[in-house]
Amino acid sequence: MVTPNKGRILVCKRYAVLLTGVMILSFGLFNIHSQSKITEGGILGLTLFLKHWFHISPGISEFVLDLLCYLAGLRILGKSFLKNALISSAGYALFYSLWEFTGPFLPNLGHRPLFAAVVGGLFVGVGVGLVVRAGGATGGDDALALILSRKTPLTLSKAYLFTDVVVLLLSATYIPLVKIGCSLVTVTISSILIGKIQAPGKFRLTCSTPSRSMNNR
C-alpha cells in the first residue's frame, strides 16, 4: 500500500524526471539542431513540408496537428497523459527560452553534419525518453508515437522511427539527400534511445495515481 506521503514523493520524482528530460531535449535542439540546421522528422518536419509545397504557415499547421494528436492522446491514453503533456510543453518552452537568452554553450557543428547528427540524436533520445518515461510528451509526434505503440504491434522505438522516416521521405522532395541522410542518423539514434529508456521491466514512474504504474497503462 502506498501512503499519501510516499505518493507525493513519487509524484515529485516523476515531475523531476519529466523536467530533466525537457531540459536535456531543449538544450540539444538549441545547441545542436538549431545551430547545425539538422532537418527534423515528426510534426515539425511535416509543417516544413506543408509550408514548402502548400504555403501553409507552420504556426497554423503545427497547432492543428498537435491539437489533433493531443485530442487522440486524451481519448486513448487518458487525462493524466494530457496533463503531463501540457506540463512538458510548458517546461520545454521555458527551457528553450533560457538557452536562447544564455546563447550557445557548444561550438557550431554545421561543418561536421554527421557528428552533429549523432550528438543531436543522443540529446533528443535521452530527453524525450525521460519525458515519455514520466508519462509526458513534448509535442504531437510524441503523442502519435505513444498511440501507435498502444494500438499497433509497433514498439515505441519503431513507432517514432516510422513517423520520422515517413516525414523525412516526404521532405526528400525538396531537401538535399545529404541532409536527409544525416537526419535519418539522428532519428534512428533517438528512436533506439527512447525505447531503451522507457522499456518495460525497468524502473518506471507513476503516471496517473500513486498505486498505478505506467506498466499498467
121 in a structural domain: yes
pLDDT of amino acid 209: 35
- Number of domain units in the chain: 1
What pTM does this model have? 0.79
22 in a structural domain: no
pLDDT of amino acid 141: 86
63 in a structural domain: yes
140 in a structural domain: yes
pLDDT at 131 over 60: yes
25 in a structural domain: no
Burial class of residue 47, CB neighbours in 10 A (0-12, 13-18, 19+): buried
162 in a structural domain: yes
Q: Which structural domain, as residue segments, surrounds residue 142?
A: 30-200
Give pLDDT tens digits for 76-96.
Answer: 988 888 888 888 888 888 888
5 in a structural domain: no
Give pLDDT tens digits for 201-214.
Answer: 443 443 433 333 33
1 in a structural domain: no
Give pLDDT tens digits for 136-162.
Answer: 888 888 899 999 999 999 998 899 999
What band does 38 get if pLDDT is binned at 50, 70 and 90? confident
